[in-house]
């Protein structure tokens, strides 16, 4: 065990065993400069956060719970998770140009580390913390006791599982181009106890497998920038959203991540995409975040379809188009 983790385990951080076990495993395979960053984050982050008025204990508790979920859903020990994360960090650092969609799919989305990375960021990346808070805050403002929600480009499935945990009478769909992500999401849903109300399927946002006007709430968080035709994506998002339905979207601004095919220059760019799809913007803002390996700015927007009238909810087996409806009709989750 490296000396940093030994030191942390003698402090109040010892209560967060899942985090420290993963930090320990990552430190074993990380270069010295990454170990310095980790030690600085874990050692100086809490007192600095408290000095600025933050509740760092709550943040560490949330991170520890998320890492526990990662361990459960991945069914891997900390050292294997650390190796997977290191593989992605090296890939991201070594790619100094934009990847094509096909290349990104081959090297990232179809790999087993992909859902691990998308889930792990929720534990330690400030922008990911903010995205989860944003989704939960908007969902909690929805007055409908029964609703159908879809997380498109769901990655690990963590956002959808959190929403369904908070809204026990809602049902949800998760869609991702990655089969590895879909399998991971199903395991996470079982672990979180929401599998009876969650259906995860492979698919692409450019050709959504949902009937028109069938969804009450749609999440598209950090996904549109990965796709080659954003205008087509927004037309599809508008098509599947029911009258009065809400679209929750986040995207990075001026991103330099290799897997991002295009980048927004401002919130106005996103406003244009939303409005050109016939949706009405309820709120839109840019937030700054500073952390290692993250884009500095992200835009958060809520858009609405139509005049605000809530649609009559359809039976679950009619929401999906024929190509996958047969898989859904036998049960909410495929085994």
Same structural domain for residues 184 and 65?
A: no
Q: Are residues 57 and 115 in the same domain?
A: yes
Closest CA relative to residue 216, chosen from 198, 249, 191, 241: 241
154/185 Cα distance (integer angstroms): 8
153 assigned to some structural domain: yes
Last residue of a domain, one of 92, 123, 154: 123
pLDDT of residue 270: 92
Do the domain assignments include residue 152?
Answer: yes
Our count of domains for the chain comes to 2
Query: Is residue 97's pLDDT more than 70?
Result: no
Claim to verify: residue 19 and residue 72 sit in the same structural domain: yes
Q: Which of 102, 123, 144 is the last residue of a domain?
A: 123
Say if residue 226 is in the same domain as residue 306: yes
279-323 per-position pLDDT tens digit: 999 999 998 876 656 677 899 999 999 754 554 334 334 444 443
Share of the chain above pLDDT 70, in %: 80
For residues 180 and 317, state if they share a domain: yes
Single pTM value for the model:
0.84
> Are both 177 and 114 inside the same structural domain?
no
Same domain, yes or no: 142 and 38: no
The tokens describing 188, both together, are: 């996470």
- Exposed, middle or buried, 115 (CB in 10 Å: 0-12/13-18/19+)? buried
Q: Which domain holds residue 55?
A: 3-123
Q: What CATH number does the domain containing 197 carry?
A: 3.40.50.150
pLDDT recorded at residue 332: 30
Q: Is residue 335 part of a domain?
A: no
Task: Provide the pLDDT for residue 2.
Answer: 63
Of the two residues 26 and 216, the one the predictor is more confident about is 216
What pLDDT, on a 0 to 100 scale, did the predictor assign at position 44?
Answer: 59
The answer to whether 240 and 150 are in contact (CB under 8 A) is yes
**Closest to 250 (Cα-Cα) out of 267, 272, 265:** 267
Q: What are phi and psi of 292, to 5 degrees?
A: -65, 130
* Residue 42, CA atoms < 13 Å, CB-side half-sphere: 29
Same-domain pairing of 101 and 26: yes
Domain end residue (candidates: 123, 147, 163): 123
Residue 318 confidence (pLDDT): 44
249 close to 181: Cβ distance less than 8 angstroms: no
Q: What is the mean pLDDT of residues 58-72?
A: 90
Residue 188 contacts residue 73 (beta carbons within 8 Å)? yes
- How many whole angstroms separate alpha carbon 164 and alpha carbon 20? 28
The reply to whether 334 falls in a domain is no
Do residues 202 and 134 lie in contact, with contact meaning Cβ atoms separated by under 8 Å? no
pLDDT reading at 21 higher than 60:
yes
**Are 116 and 131 contained in the same domain?**
no
Burial (CB count within 10 angstroms: exposed 0-12, middle 13-18, buried 19+), residue 334: middle
Compute the radius of gyration of the chain from its Cα atoms. Answer: 20
Residues 201 and 240 in one domain: yes
| One domain, residues 237 and 144 | yes
Residue 71 lies in a domain: yes
Distance CA 227, CA 48 (A): 38
On whether both 84 and 222 belong to a single domain, the answer is no
What would the pLDDT profile of 218-270 be if each residue is shown by its tens digit? 999 999 988 889 999 999 999 999 999 999 999 988 877 778 877 788 899 99
Answer yes or no: are the C-beta atoms of 196 and 171 closer than 8 Å: no
Interatomic CA distance for residues 220 and 81, integer angstroms: 26
């Amino acid at each position: 065990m490296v000396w940093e983790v030994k030191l942390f385990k003698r402090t109040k951080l010892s209560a967060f065993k899942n985090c420290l076990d993963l930090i320990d495993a990552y430190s074993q395979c990380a270069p010295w400069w990454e170990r310095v960053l980790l030690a600085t984050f874990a050692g100086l982050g809490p007192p600095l956060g408290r000095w600025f008025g933050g509740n760092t204990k709550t943040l560490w508790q949330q991170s520890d719970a998320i890492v526990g979920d990662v361990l459960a859903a991945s069914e891997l020990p900390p050292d294997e998770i650390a190796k997977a994360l290191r593989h992605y960090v090296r890939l991201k650092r070594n790619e100094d140009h934009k990847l094509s969609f096909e290349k990104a799919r081959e090297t990232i989305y179809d790999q087993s580390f992909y859902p691990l990375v998308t889930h792990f960021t929720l534990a330690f990346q400030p922008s990911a913390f903010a995205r989860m808070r944003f989704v939960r805050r908007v969902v909690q403002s929805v007055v409908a006791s029964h609703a159908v929600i879809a997380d498109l480009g769901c990655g690990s499935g963590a956002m959808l599982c959190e929403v369904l945990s908070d809204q026990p009478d809602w049902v949800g769909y998760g869609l991702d181009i990655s089969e590895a992500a879909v399998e991971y999401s199903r395991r996470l849903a079982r672990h979180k106890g929401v599998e009876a109300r969650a259906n995860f399927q492979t698919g692409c946002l450019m050709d959504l497998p949902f009937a028109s006007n069938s969804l009450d709430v749609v999440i598209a968080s950090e996904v549109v920038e990965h796709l080659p035709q954003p205008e087509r994506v927004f037309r599809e998002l508008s098509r599947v959203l029911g009258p009065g339905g809400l679209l929750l979207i986040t995207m990075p601004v001026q991103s330099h991540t290799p897997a991002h095919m295009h980048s927004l220059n401002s919130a106005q760019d996103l406003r244009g995409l939303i409005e050109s799809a016939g949706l009405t913007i309820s709120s839109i803002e840019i937030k700054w975040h500073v952390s290692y390996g993250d884009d500095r700015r992200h835009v958060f927007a809520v858009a609405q379809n139509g005049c605000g009238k809530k649609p009559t909810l359809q039976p679950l087996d009619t929401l999906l188009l024929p190509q996958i409806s047969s898989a859904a009709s036998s049960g909410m989750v495929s085994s």
